[in-house]
Amino acid sequence: MYTVPDQTGKTAVVTGANSGTGKEAARRLAAAGARVIMAVRTPAKGERARAEIVADQPGAELEVRRLDLADLGSVQEFADGVLADGKLDLLVNNAGVMAPPTRMVTADGFELQFGSNFLGPFALTLRLLPALLAAPAPRVATMTSGTAGYGRVRFDDLQWERRRYSANMTYAQSKLADLMLAVRLADVARERGWNLLSAAAHPGYTVTNLQSSGASLGRDRPKRSMLNSLTFLPKQGVETGAEPLLYAATSPDAEGGMFYGPGGRFGLVGPTAPLRVPGRARDTTANERLWARAEELTGVALPARV
């Protein structure tokens, strides 16, 4: 099991921290001494998760705050609160939605997966940069997916308004976009001389409620899809599934622009290993183009050079 290095004196934001890999990341960061802000859409669920962690770790320093990544107004409100606190050492972009059976939209009218999984985290990351850059060795760890390997960012129809909606391919697009965000942010940090490490991770086939909760949106019962029907594949629990993300977030050996995931069978289970970044996420021109489109869509841009 990966051991998180001492995080005493550090502040971390973990999105989607009420369950799954986010809850596990929050638990282990707090156990290592970090003050953890649990960013959750439903505060009551966050408080229950916090209580469970504190019951096992009485000294854990955890705070629940509301954040809805499908609402850019909520993103700004949350970010303003964190900026008011001062420095931020670690941002863990973990939250996401997977494979709703029909096309749905965010509060701002974006296709739900592209909006929640990419545009929301993009806006959050950029809004929190002043706090991150005030820290001595800040990091941004972004959760993507193995589906990024076959994903394609369709610049001519990012919101899937003109083509037939595909829950799987729309999800893959959003997770490829997350990987492109992590790589491009690492490039920006190098270009500007920031001591900021940006890396990406994927959990392999980790058993959480992500597979069922997304497929249940808008329906009384989940619809079976490729992403929630692969029951024959090797799978693992959140303790192992969260480790690539924790490695990207805390390991002294993690590197900017890198991609980490399970190194075992089919790349779905096992201990953390460095992975090859797919070609579409290594395309500098495409990464810059996606970043520019995200700035236009969210109205959030990089701060002035610092």
Catalytic annotation, residues: 171
- Maximal C-alpha separation, the chain: 52
Q: Are 216 and 209 in contact (CB under 8 A)?
A: no
Q: How far is it, in rounded angstroms, from Cα 199 to Cα 258?
A: 5
Q: How far apart are CA 230 and CA 232, in angstroms?
A: 6
Distance CA 261, CA 179 (A): 12
Nearby residues of 57 by Cβ (< 8 Å), 6 or more positions away: 27, 30, 31
Is residue 145 within 8 A of residue 179, CB to CB? The reply is no
Q: Please name which of 52, 13, 64 lies closest in space to residue 34, comparing C-alpha atoms.
A: 13
